Amino acid sequence: MEHSKNWHEKHREASKFGQRLADTVASGMGSWRFIIIQTAIVGAWMLLNVVGFMRHWDVYPFILLNLLFSTQAAYAAPIIMMAQNRQSERDRHHAEQDYRTNLEAKKEIELLIERLNVIEIEKLDKILELLQVDKHEKKKTV
């Protein structure tokens, strides 16, 4: 049995490597896992530099750590913006697809209503015909 691909699978396959990478990085940076790991690393960095178990490579006020954060922010912001732009594009395509589906459903519902009206009119005509036949038969018997 052949598997037909849904819209998301087709869109993912059409994405270029850089676009998929931006999506992956943005989803990773927007997770609790990333925040927890980064917090642990920063805490360890600061603790090791304050206590001095190792050589103080970044003494207070942690200028190297601030430089690393600035570099991370300089790369993270555009990557996250690329992912958000792509998400907006996906949402727009999805909304267009939903709109088309809704239009098709509306047309089908209108056709069904027309068919039901025709059936109801035919039934009413049949009932009226039966009533008239019954009325004529009653007149004949009276």
Residue 4 in any domain: the answer is no
Residue 3 in any domain: the answer is no
Find tokens 């509306």 and name the residue: 106
Tally of domains within the chain: 1
Find tokens 């942690």 and name the residue: 62
Residue 6 in any domain: the answer is no
Per-residue confidence band for 1, with pLDDT thresholds at 50, 70 and 90: low
The answer to whether residue 43 scores a pLDDT higher than 90 is yes
Q: How far is CA 37 from CA 31, 32, 137, in A?
A: 10, 8, 92
Per-residue confidence band for 65, with pLDDT thresholds at 50, 70 and 90: very high
Helix and strand totals (H; E) in the chain? 4, 0
Residue 22 in any domain: the answer is yes
Residue 85 in any domain: the answer is yes
The answer to whether residue 3 scores a pLDDT higher than 90 is no
pLDDT at 139: 73
Provide the mean pLDDT of the chain. Answer: 87
Residue 34 in any domain: the answer is yes
Q: How far is CA 113 from CA 31, 110, 124, in A?
A: 49, 5, 16
Residue 28 in any domain: the answer is yes
Give the separation between CA 10 and CA 21, rounded to whole angstroms. Answer: 17
CB-CB neighbours of 26 under 10 Å: 19
Range of the domain at 92: 16-141
Per-residue confidence band for 64, with pLDDT thresholds at 50, 70 and 90: very high
pLDDT at 48: 86
Residue 98 in any domain: the answer is yes
pLDDT at 53: 62
- Average pLDDT on 5-18 reads 75
Tokens matching residue 25:
């990085």
pTM: 0.59
